[in-house]
Amino acid sequence: MMLTALGKGGKFTVLGIWFFFTIFPIYWMALTSIKPKREVNDLYYFPNEGATLESYRILFRDYAFGIFLRNSLIVSLVASFIVIGLGLLGAYALARYEFSGKPQVMLGFLTTQMIPGLISLAPLYLLMQKLGLINSLIGLTLCYVGGMVPFATMMLRGFIQRIPPELDEAALIDGCNRFTALFRVVTPVALPGIAATFIFSFVQCWNELFLAMILIDSEGSKTFPVAMRSFIGGYWIEWGGLSAAVMVGIIPTVIIFGLMSKFMISGLSAGIVKG
């Protein structure tokens, strides 16, 4: 409003500048990734006829980036599905039941949002060591589920609360129990909210670096960010390969986000968010 006082021209200038600032780093990485190897350090701003996908080929031929991507995909998808399952159950109880101790339970869920995830790194390593789940994608998935569940539960609760309770009451009269009412009646109606929560969880897991870095050390179990970390080891960085790798790493989240940004925007603001 303050800025619309500038008039239409001013408004679109500001939006244009911000657009440029936002997109440029990604554009620059994309451009670097298709420059021929000997031109990587040359500062030109538009692709020329030498543009090549060589850097991408090297990534998958000389390094096991296919495996890293697969690992990341498995962990993020499985963790997010479990998170949605557990989150829906918990959210349903918090949205539909009145019981003594409920305020305390709610407070417990909210408190988790105040706890920095970083302090869990060492304890989770020690825990996974005891369970024999170091270097295991199962261990990593479990940790991600634990980290994402509180937030997902609160977010899903917000969506379920917006659905009129008469809907599941009708289902109960029609012979559903609470459990089947949740999955047959409430879930389909809450689907946009569930999609938003799922994407949020997927993006968080996909991008998570430090826990994966600590828990996973063996080449075959590395997730994408961990592989990137070892890829840049040492002082010398090969920017051609690196920029291609960055592009490969961000494409999945960009595609998912692009497809679902409408859900995301309403979803994120519905359950005030951590990330």
Partner 1 sequence: MTATMHQPTRKRAASTTRMLKALAFLAPAAIMILIFVFYPVIRTVLLGFQSFKLYDQSNIGYNGLENFRKLLEDPNFSRILTNTFLWVFVSVFFQFTIGFSLALLLKKKFKIIGLYQGLIFIPWALSGFLMGLVWKWIFDESFGVLNDALLKLGLIDSRIPWLSDARWAMAAVIIANIWYGVTFFVIMILAALQGVPKEMLEAAELDGANRFQTLFSVIIPYIRATLILIVLLRIMWITNFPDLIFGMTQGQPAGRTHILSSWLIEKLTLDADWGAASAVGLMIMVILFVFTLFYLMATRLEKDSGV
Which residue shows structure tokens 């039941």? 97
Q: Is 94 helix (H, G, I), strand (E, B) or coil?
A: helix
If one asks whether residue 240 binds partner 1 (CB under 8 A), the answer comes out as no
| Minimum distance from residue 132 beta carbon to partner 1 (Å) | 16
Dist. CA 149–CA 272, nearest whole Å: 15
Stretch that binds partner 1, among 3-11, 49-57, 60-68, 183-191 (CB under 8 A): 3-11
Residue 41 is which amino acid? N
Cβ closest to partner 1, residue 58 vs residue 274? 274
Residues in the chain: 275
| Minimum distance from residue 164 beta carbon to partner 1 (Å) | 19
Q: Judged by CB under 8 A, how many residues of this single chain contact partner 1?
A: 97
Binding positions for partner 1, 86-105, rule CB under 8 A: 86-87, 89-90, 92-94, 97-102, 105
If one asks whether residue 171 binds partner 1 (CB under 8 A), the answer comes out as no
For partner 1, which residue of 203, 218, 222, 241 counts as binding (CB under 8 A)?
A: 203
If one asks whether residue 178 binds partner 1 (CB under 8 A), the answer comes out as yes
Range 230-265 burial, b when 16+ CB lie within 10 A, else e: ebeeeeeeebbbbbbbbbbbbebbeebeeebeebbe
Are the beta carbons of 80 and 151 closer than 8 angstroms?
A: no
Contact flags string 39-78 toward partner 1, x per CB under 8 A: --x-x-x---------------------------------
Dist. CA 177–CA 179, nearest whole Å: 5
Torsion 22-24-25-29 (CA) sign: positive
